Amino acid sequence: MSFFVDYIWLVPLFSLIAFLIISTGNMFVLHRNSRISAYLTLSSSFLGLVFGVLAFIYCYISENIWFERTFSWISVDALSFDFGFMVDNLSATMVVMVCFISLLVQIFSMGYMKEDPEYSKFFGYLALFNFAMCFLVLSPNLFQAYIFWEMVGLCSYLLIGFWYWKNSASKAAYKAFIVNRVGDFGFLLGMVAFGIFTFNYWINSDLSFLSFSDLNMAVFYLKDVFGGYSVVIIGLLFLLASCAKSAQFPLYVWLPDAMEAPTPVSALIHAATMVVAGVFLLARMYPLFEVSSLLMGAVVVIGIFTALLCGVFALFERDLKRVLAYSTCSQLGYMFFAIGLGAYSAGIFHMFTHSFAKALLFLAAGCVVFALGGRQDIFEMGGLRKRMPVVAYSFLAGVISLSGLFFSGFYSKECIFQAVFESGNIWLSVLFCAIGILTAFYLFRVYFLVFEGEENRSVGEVRSIPFSMIFSVCTLVVVSVLFGFLLGGHFGIKSFDELIYYSFKEGYRPSFLLVILSVCLSLSGVIGAYLLSKAGKRVYLFENLRFVVDWFYENVVSRVFCIVSKLFDFVDRYIVYGVVYICGLLVNLFSLLLRSLSSKNIGVYVVLSMGWLILLFIVLYGFKELFV
């Protein structure tokens, strides 16, 4: 079975081949039968999933698994930038999650996008994203991770703006690109700073430059030689990158607008895979964060604040997909919060359970949007359980799991809950309980408004849902229900080394009292959502609260940025360019002076040259007499 670990690089290669065939084949054969592109993409994801699952099993049953294979890509003297892949518990589980969700989303897309004129291009983009994301999680060093970090962002931009003829989709893609560039700059600057400060360590130890496998010792070198402030500054830069990619405050604003993309894109990129890249980066760079309590505190504060803020936004949102988008931001805040508390494996475990449940919710919501002809306002729905019972009960399963009542989400939430109470911080415990109630409240509010109650007469005729869409939804239901039960005992509040280097043998056993408390809190949110749906569907209070943040960015941040840009433009145009222009002008004036002395007579040139030499000799001799 070690064969599948040795050749794990074939996982992203399958998707790259599919993308290249689709991109070039559209000019020849595939334009006649666009479904060939879907089959190619599905085949690449399926093969990748098989390799990933077998590699994961090998990691699970083995001890001290850390497999790395690299080759030198760029070499300058003793400095070498390597390219390759690395397999450990974290990367193996990430590959399985990415390929599995990608496969189901691609099957779903066969029905959802079947009438789209650019069907083949859509599947080509999905294959390219799968390639980039798999290579990102398999990267053995920061240099390679940054390359595919950028490529994942490019795929996100292409897929958000896939329906480019819609003005809202174009603006959303542009907004996502700009916000993520802020985080990408943090990643680049942090990587460069870390590489410069630890350069001597990598050279003297003869190790692969910026390798994740030797990150612990490099961090200790950084702290010993340059002090704790260097660790904090570099860590904050990487935290900025994670906040942008994982939609955390203050860089979360791109994710709700990204719902303008086709629903399969929302399920794949903006709920289950791409947005967890920030959490993955925190896990990979955890040795850097671990040595600074200030960095750990910053991760906790950002996570808990984002979870609470976006939970409030989700509560007062009326667009079905935007509710789920704000829920994603909030749940990613859970993961940041857990990692900041030191519950590394609990945060990673919640990342998996959330990915399956949120992909389920988005695909079920996609079924609703498809059946209603594009309608997304939850206040214009109601009583849909009678018309689409399979979708309704599937959506309910995802809501129950994500709320932490039962199923997979229950196990991961209890791991984090245990970590919060073990921290001994009363305020964090209170806030976490409030977020738990809020999560159940807004999720069940959506379920009651969309699927229960009286049927909305304005809904009209409901379109039949293709089998491929129902198949993907039902498969995710099974995984969302059973994943936590099967693996919940193998994720615990363990050390980072045990999470990364060793298999998860001894897991977490929840406290009975905490379980009862957690379930009661979630049930109180369910009851509140039910009473609210019965009392009245519309809640106008703070309904447009999210626009305050967008207004701040558009009218304050953008204007400050424009002022700073104009200042730099003035310095560049009139100071930097002015100095260069004056130097050139002086050279021109001097050349004009010499030109005016030209007589085209060689004898005159000889006399003048001799005169200048004599003058130079006298001056130098005079300075010599002066200083002797």
Q: If pLDDT is split at 50, 70 and 90, which confidence band does 200 have?
A: confident
Q: What is the pLDDT of residue 509?
A: 54
d(CA 176, CA 256): 10
Q: What confidence tier does 495 reach under pLDDT thresholds 50, 70, 90?
A: very low
**Average pLDDT of the segment spanning 214-243:** 91
pLDDT of residue 441: 92
Q: How far is CA 591 from CA 424, 577, 598, 609, 612, in A?
A: 78, 21, 11, 17, 17
User: 580 falls in which pLDDT band (50, 70, 90)?
Assistant: confident
Residue 87 phi, psi (nearest 5):
-120, 120
Residue 29 confidence (pLDDT): 54
Contact by Cβ (8 Å): 69, 263: no
Lowest mean pLDDT among 157-171, 454-468, 600-614: 600-614
* pLDDT at position 538 over 70: no
Peptide bond into 262 cis (omega under 30): no
What is the model's pLDDT at position 507? 46
238 contacts: CB under 8 Å, gap ≥ 6: 186, 187, 190, 281, 282, 285, 288
What is residue 211's DSSP assignment?
A: B
CB count in 10 Å sphere of residue 26: 18
How many CB atoms lie under 10 A from the CB of residue 459?
A: 17
Residue 281, pLDDT score: 92
Among the residue ranges 63-67, 124-128, 163-167, 577-581, the one predicted with the least confidence is: 63-67
pLDDT beyond 90 at 385: no
Q: pLDDT confidence of 119, banded at 50, 70, 90?
A: confident
Q: With cut-offs at 50, 70 and 90, classify the pLDDT of residue 315.
A: confident
| Residue type (1 letter), 62 | S
Residue 114's pLDDT is what?
85
- pLDDT tens by residue, 557-573: 777 878 888 888 888 88
- Compute the distance between CA of residue 413 and CA of residue 212 in angstroms, rounded to an integer: 29
Q: What is the mean pLDDT of the chain?
A: 83
pLDDT value of position 303:
93
Whether 418 and 514 have beta carbons less than 8 Å apart is answered as yes
Say how many C-beta atoms besides its own lie within 10 A of residue 507's C-beta: 17
Q: How confident is the model at residue 506 (pLDDT cuts 50, 70, 90)?
A: very low
Q: Is the confidence at residue 371, as pLDDT, over 70?
A: yes
Confidence band for 536, pLDDT divided at 50, 70 and 90: low
**Among 167-171, 370-374, 461-465, 547-551, whose mean pLDDT is lowest?**
547-551
Residue 81: phi and psi, rounded to 5, are -95, 115
590 burial level (CB within 10 Å; 0-12, 13-18, 19+):
exposed
User: Residue 70 pLDDT more than 70?
Assistant: yes
CB burial string 113-136: b at 16+ within 10 A, e below: beeeeebbbbbbbbbbbbbbbbbb
Structural tokens at position 231:
């660790």
The two most distant CA atoms of the chain are separated, in Å, by 110
Rounded to whole angstroms, how far apart are CA atoms 320 and 1? 44
Please state, in angstroms and rounded to a whole number, the distance separating the CA atoms of residues 458 and 533.
Answer: 19
pLDDT at 444 over 80: yes
Distance between CA atoms of residues 17 and 5, nearest Å: 20
Residue where the block lists tokens 């960095």: 295
pLDDT at 493: 38
Give 151-193 pLDDT, tens digit per residue.
999 999 999 999 888 888 898 898 889 889 889 999 999 999 9
Rounded Cα–Cα distance for residues 597 and 111 (Å): 84
Q: Is 280 in contact with 311 (CB distance < 8 Å)?
A: no
Average pLDDT, integer, range 604-627: 71
Global confidence as pTM: 0.86
Sign of the CA dihedral 524, 529, 532, 534?
A: negative
pLDDT over threshold 90, residue 316? no
The amino acid present at 186, given as its one-letter code, is G
Average pLDDT of the segment spanning 451-475: 82
Paired residues of 319 in beta bridges: 377
| Beta strands, E only, 61-112 | 67-76, 79-87
Q: Each residue of 4-19: pLDDT tens digit?
A: 788 888 899 999 999 9
Higher-confidence residue: 240 or 379? 240
